[in-house]
A and B are shown apart, each in its own frame.
Chain A
């Protein structure tokens, strides 16, 4: 292919100070296939792009090499310019003489030689390039939001407001998540329920939102714009259509067990609505504890139900839905009880965690808003709060910071002071991390105005002495050991990903970090996208964060979905794998190697419909162009468009 144009960029002094651009031009112009060479200070600028466009048209170029920065930086820019000049954009290649040459070398002579080599390689490659056409896929304008906490609720509401039909999936009987359990929220001390429940009601009433509570994601197929999801409706044993939510069944049920919503401090029945403001207001029978399911006797709820809604025969149901995008907002759990044996959490009744304390504070909670010791129901005189109980402890807990504990502990100490006049609140901390709007002021208020005592240091041990808890710790500011006689100890246990987060990530084909938090596509610039197109993140499933950040991210995720849905069809880069169906023997080794699950099976039939063989097929919408299948294929029957063997060999052979 003669007629290749080479455009060498100075990038100001970025390239030109280390690479002798003029000598490069001189050498490159001697190459056999090159018919046009020039250089310019900033090739990416508008005049720079015009040089390329004009050369393509005037010199009738059949291929272009731009020797400049990394293709990550400007490949798109130059390909667009090529397209505008009438050249297939995939006939343009970049030679990276900045990041891979000028920036990493200091010897100008050697760097210049290397730049020439890099350009020669790109020229050799571009002679083998084939014109490629962009891939277009249709988009289903429906979204699935997984998780009905504040993150999922916010995303669903934002989407619905834009008129997008949204499915909201929640595995517990009600939406609301952890936020519904909280009492007041920092830094403004507004009541959590008061700001959350109106949103929950909006979800229930919004015609664009279909709520699937007590349901879990079973399976996901497909790709961006075209997902097929299977949802498992767990049997409630209550007919949702007949139930009026009167609550008689839960009044009369004889079985009492610790309530999950109250973190075990309060009790619930075997048939229950988790909390009064639950959405939907429909009970669930907990099969594990129900006397009828265990012993075959009782059926009290059935007898008292005026609507005849109880149905012990109900089965799990599976439904399939098609959606174009998925937002994952599955939230967090707190660190299990047994990590710190020395704190006796789980053994000493009066050592509790932050959420348990939150339920105590809540006016609608099991103690009606009174702070009482779980052991004897008395009001505490001294309460010790221990921050970083698991966070920032690589040895026993997790190395990361849970981000919300400093703030909620300050809040706890404040609310405690409000509820129990004369009480002593002592906070053990490592550092106070109060970076947020109004946050530092809030912690100061807890300390200076409300009179909570903050001690910088860690607690080594808690033990029981009579009905008191002795908290042994160190004050690292004075360097002294101290022992505090406490009535109640509240641990700020670490935020952790949901136990089955990794399983869900594998179902969705998204990546997760060493702890199980889902990974964003870029830590700074793409915080709500995942590595899988069409799947977005919101809330603590991605990393620990507080309510304002969760809501912001949830709205961000919703707006990303809306941007995606603003297209009728999606245009994707054609850099994908192609199967040579003639030679494929159908071993499907490629199927296993594909991280994006883009490879399916295709039947090849003869004219009369008899099956000849099964071959691999690459789903163009799903393929990420990673090339894993190409190297796996023993027969060499898969080729990566834009990176074929011929192209790569051509590049290597000129070295």
Chain B
């Protein structure tokens, strides 16, 4: 009798272990979902974490809410494209001209993003990328895919619900960190209807020129991929900030050599718009990679005239 009771008691105790484990996990999950809901209500919930970089994920969410099928001109690249290109200069409405550039991207990552988006844009004719030396500083293959392409494509095309990336890419520290910084980031990164986000205030960022040879290979592949798609690729180099040039390139040799390499690597269908043909004063820059608003508009006009408009004139 006694052993039987002890065995039964022991079974109950053991059963409790699994129950307590399961309830604990469930409790934390409910807490986590509740926390996400609270952050959403307070406007502090990070966008669906495809890349776990807020400005990239904000852009991906922006693209999800757009009809991409009518896009003719797409700008894509790092923040040099996002901040400096005013898409309204092309004279198209936001359904046909789109600034899909997020931030941070190196040239290989730009190529990755453009390839993914081009699949969703049957009417795409022109891609514009503004590049600075900083876009060529690190093209480690491990970092090229800024997010899972299958998940990202399905998300942008609204084939999966908006909550799914939170589940499959859950990163609690990122969500919590972003909750603190999100209002400020959103104020700084506000986008117009085209997806552009010009900078208004100055920053002290002056990155030294560092080139990764893999980026030049990635650039060539990017150019080749666009040629294969029969999409014209316009690569506009950033005008040089005089203050940056004094520190890192007083003779202009570095930018000259870099531009020369880009031209040499460009495949058929790719045109380089040389940013040295237009100049701005140091105080018209926000930092060495971004012009301040409204000076970015003058640069955008310059790019438009040397790229898409020039083709129209030819035809």
The finding on whether chains A and B are genuine partners in a shared complex, rather than unrelated, reads no
